């Protein structure tokens, strides 16, 4: 794989992860915020680890694969939170 496309993909998926964790407090009840953050981080780490083991790249590429899949695990949550923001939904 090329480094530049992988850097672009990684930056986009990590932006989704940052957006997700930024928006969680606005759409989640206080008691569930920590749980939501934890589940997303754990799922992202597990997904990143599994994919990294599958592709067995070395060096920078291994890190980029892990980070991009970590961010990709946050994409569904980011999409849901984006839609909730557009609808001006409150906490749930």
Provide the pLDDT confidence category of residue 1 given band limits of 50, 70 and 90: low
Domain of 71 in residue numbering reads as: 49-78
Does residue 30 form part of some domain?
no
Does residue 65 form part of some domain?
yes
Where do runs of H (alpha helix) occur along 1-92? 3-27, 30-55, 60-72, 75-86
Determine the pLDDT at residue 79.
Answer: 95
DSSP symbol at 74? T
Number of independent structural domains in the chain? 1
Average pLDDT over residues 36-42: 95
Average pLDDT over residues 49-73: 91
Does residue 59 form part of some domain?
yes
CA dist., res. 34 & res. 23, Å (int): 13
CA dist., res. 67 & res. 24, Å (int): 20
SS3 at position 56: coil
Q: Is the pLDDT of residue 68 over 70?
A: yes
Q: How far is CA 68 from the centre of its chain?
A: 8
Question: 3-27, pLDDT tens digit by residue?
Answer: 899 999 999 999 999 999 999 998 8
Does residue 61 form part of some domain?
yes
Does residue 58 form part of some domain?
yes
């Amino acid at each position: 794989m090329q480094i530049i496309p992988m850097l672009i993909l990684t930056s986009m998926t990590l932006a989704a992860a940052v957006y997700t964790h930024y928006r969680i407090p606005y759409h989640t009840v206080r008691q569930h915020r920590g749980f939501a953050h934890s589940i997303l981080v754990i799922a992202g780490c597990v997904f990143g680890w599994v994919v990294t083991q599958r592709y067995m790249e070395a060096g920078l590429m291994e890190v980029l694969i892990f980070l991009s899949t970590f961010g990709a695990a946050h994409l569904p949550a980011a999409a849901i939170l984006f839609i909730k923001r557009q609808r001006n939904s409150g906490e749930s």
